[in-house]
Structure 1
Amino acid sequence: MKSIQVANAFILRHGSDIDITNLVLNKLVYFAQVESLRETGKPLFEDKIEAWSYGPVEKDVYYTFRKYGRNKISKSEGEAAKDEQTLSIIDRTAKKYGFLTAFDLVGFSHRKNSAWKNVYREGESVEITNDDILASDDGLTFPKNTLASSLDEVNAKWQNTFRILRNA
């Protein structure tokens, strides 16, 4: 399977629920690969993943959707993954990471002992291998200090804050 098929499935299945930009899409496809490796021991797709300055990138996905810039991707481009195991991993990945902002995903992919952090070299497109992923903490820890977790803290401390703001 190709990474673009995984990307297209994310767009088709979760594009109405998640603000999927090219940056977000590349991180979701990457974390779907991580989930597959952790769960099944097998990669979800065969394409190479590279460590770029903003985190893990699948070049085919990036170049296919770069015309959207920072804007939300409005439609898939080509064939989407269809097998149930792949779709199940995509759905779990979307549920686990889809609420995070693009910057939350970048920060999480850049944390200590992430595969990206372990291989990244500025100015180079270094491959993140399956072995690099399995040797990292990717898929073993959950993002902390995100926008979503901060909003949860505010809501817990001042329960009416968002209702008041919504009605203002």
Structure 2
Amino acid sequence: MSYIKLSNDQIDKVGNSIIYLSEKIGELSKTKALKLIYILDELSIKKSGIPFFNLKYKVWKFGPVSEEIFIDLSSETTLLKDYIERTSEEGVTVIRPIVDFNDDEFSDNDIDLLDFVIEKFGDKTAKDLVYYTHRKNSPWHNTAKENSVLELLEKEEINNTELLIDMASLINHDERKKVVYSDYIESN
């Protein structure tokens, strides 16, 4: 298993994004929080070529999933302990903020994107969001298909892989955004 260490800036941005989403949407389940985090990265790359969080996402049954954030929201919260608490209600892990939102890590464009995601996806269920992230030709779908695991995941013969989703595939059609993305990845 590969080891990925998140930067303090990434942890701060993820933590405060979850707080912002919780304040605007209300209670977040673990799955819904994980999906919204991924969607923020996907839409940010599509829009500007720059990732929102720059997390690595794996092809899992309910993926795409940032393994580090998944683990933190599933067991004892360590990375995000200064931002959120987890409780379990009727078998569902619920994420609640423990501090107020801090916008230090956020540009006006970041807040606009958060608001757009809330408007477009805030009322969706976790299941709806899984369906959205698994849509045909999505990065999750294409990576699973290209690596011959799509059918195994869909038939629930496996529930996770170590395959990383190529987020650059979102902008393969746009040379300018590809350069912006590549420069961003190299400098971070």
- Shorter-normalised TM range: 0.5 to 0.7
Q: 1:27 to 1:74 in 2, by over 3 A?
A: same
Structure 1 residue runs of 5 or longer lacking an equivalent are 137-168
**8 Å Cα contact 1:4-1:60 kept in structure 2:** no
Distance 1:13 1:94, change over 3 A: same
Aligned counterpart, 2:45:
37
Q: Provide the residue aligned with 1:74 in structure 2.
A: 96
Letter in 2 for 1:43: P
Match of 2:128 among 104, 107, 119: 104
**AA paired with 1:36?**
S
Whole-Å separation in 1 of the counterparts to 2:35 and 2:172:
18
Partner Cα distance (1:51, 1:128) in 2: 7
Equivalent residue number for residue 130 of structure 1: 167
SS of the aligned residue for 1:57 comes to: coil
State the shift of 1:129 in Å: 1.7
Cα distance, 1:105 vs structure 2:
0.6
SS in 2 for 1:71: strand
In the other structure, the counterpart of 2:106 is 83
Deviations 1:135-155 (A, max 9, x none): 59xxxxxxxxxxxxxxxxxxx
Which structure features the higher share of strand residues? 2
Q: With the length of structure 1 as denominator, give the TM-score of the two structures.
A: 0.68
Asked whether the equivalents of residues 37 and 44 of structure 1 are also in contact (C-alpha less than 8 Å), the reply is yes
Shift of 1:42: 1.3
Match in the other structure for 2:56: 48
Task: Check if 1:19 corresponds to 2:27.
Answer: yes
TM-score (ref. length: structure 2): 0.61
* Residue 127 of structure 1, CA deviation: 0.7
SS in 1 for 2:161: coil
What is the number of residues matched between the two proteins?
Answer: 135
C-alpha displacement of 1:5: 3.4
Q: Which residue of 2 aligns with 1:117?
A: 141
Structure 2 contact 34–70 (Cα < 8 Å) conserved: yes
What displacement does 1:45 show?
A: 2.1
Unpaired stretches in structure 2, ≥5 consecutive residues: 1-6, 76-85, 150-157, 174-188
Contact 1:9–1:87 at 8 Å: present in 2 too? no
Corresponding residue SS for 1:62: helix
C-alpha contact (below 8 Å) 1:3/1:58 kept by paired residues? no
CA RMSD of aligned residues (A): 2.6
Deviation at 1:116, TM superposition (A): 0.7
